[in-house]
C-alpha cells in the first residue's frame, strides 16, 4: 500500500509488474477500489513481460481469492446504501466484513461513520487502523471528515450544557470528555479543536 500510495490517482503510470505484484496484497486486504482500478489499467494493456504474465496467471488460478471478492464488493455496496437509511443495520454489515477483512479501509471508515451517526463511542482499533493508512483521495477525504466530526462531537459532549441531554440519549457516552471517548488511545488520534484543547 505504501509503495503505491504516490500513484493511487495515476495508476496508469506504473509498470504492469508492480500492479501485478500489488494485486494479491490488495485482494487479501479487501481494497476493492484499488483492485478495480489496477485491473482496469491492466485490462487496457496487451503486452506483459514474463514475470508479469506469470503473476497474473497465478492470480487468475487462485479462484478462492477471486471468488471471495464478489461478495465483499456486494457487502460493501449494501452497507454503504444502508448507512444513510438504517445505520444500525449498516453497522452490523461492516462488523461482518471486518471479521474477514480487518484492514479493509472502506469497511473501517464505514464502521466509524455508523458509530458517529448512532452516537456511539468510536472504536479505537478502527481509528488506529485508518489513522496512518495510505488511501486514495476519496477515502482520505472521508477519513478527514470523520476525524473532524469526531473532534467536534467530543467537544459538544464536553460542553456542560450538553452533558445531560447527550447522557440521556446515549448512556454509553456519559461524561465522555473525562473518559476520552472510552479509550485513551482515541485522544491521540482525534484532531483537537481550540475549545476541545481548553475544555
Rounded Cα–Cα distance for residues 87 and 129 (Å): 21
Rounded Cα–Cα distance for residues 111 and 76 (Å): 11
pLDDT tens-digit series, residues 35-94 = 999 999 999 998 999 999 999 999 999 999 889 899 999 999 999 999 999 999 999 999
Say what the pTM is. 0.77
Rounded Cα–Cα distance for residues 35 and 45 (Å): 16
Domain ranges of the chain: 62-198
pLDDT tens-digit series, residues 95-127 = 999 999 999 999 999 999 999 999 888 888 888
Amino acid at each position: 500500500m505504501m509503495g503505491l500510495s504516490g500513484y493511487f490517482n495515476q495508476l496508469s503510470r506504473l509498470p504492469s509488474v508492480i500492479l501485478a505484484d500489488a494485486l494479491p496484497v490488495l485482494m487479501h486486504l479487501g481494497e476493492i477500489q484499488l483492485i478495480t482500478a489496477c485491473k482496469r489499467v491492466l485490462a487496457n494493456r496487451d503486452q506483459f513481460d514474463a514475470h508479469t504474465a506469470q503473476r497474473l496467471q497465478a492470480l487468475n488460478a487462485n479462484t478462492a481469492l477471486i471468488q471471495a471478492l464478489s461478495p465483499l464488493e456486494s457487502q460493501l455496496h449494501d452497507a454503504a446504501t444502508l448507512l444513510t437509511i438504517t445505520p444500525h443495520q449498516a453497522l452490523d454489515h461492516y462488523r461482518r466484513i471486518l471479521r474477514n477483512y480487518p484492514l479493509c479501509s472502506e469497511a473501517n471508515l464505514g464502521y466509524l461513520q455508523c458509530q458517529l451517526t448512532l452516537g456511539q463511542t468510536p472504536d479505537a482499533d478502527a481509528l488506529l487502523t485508518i489513522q496512518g493508512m495510505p488511501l486514495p483521495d476519496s477515502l482520505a477525504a472521508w477519513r478527514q471528515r470523520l476525524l473532524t466530526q469526531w473532534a467536534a462531537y467530543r467537544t459538544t459532549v464536553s460542553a456542560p450544557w450538553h452533558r445531560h441531554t447527550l447522557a440521556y440519549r446515549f448512556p454509553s457516552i456519559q461524561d465522555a470528555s473525562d473518559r476520552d471517548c472510552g479509550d485513551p488511545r482515541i485522544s491521540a488520534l482525534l484532531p483537537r479543536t481550540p475549545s476541545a484543547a481548553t475544555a
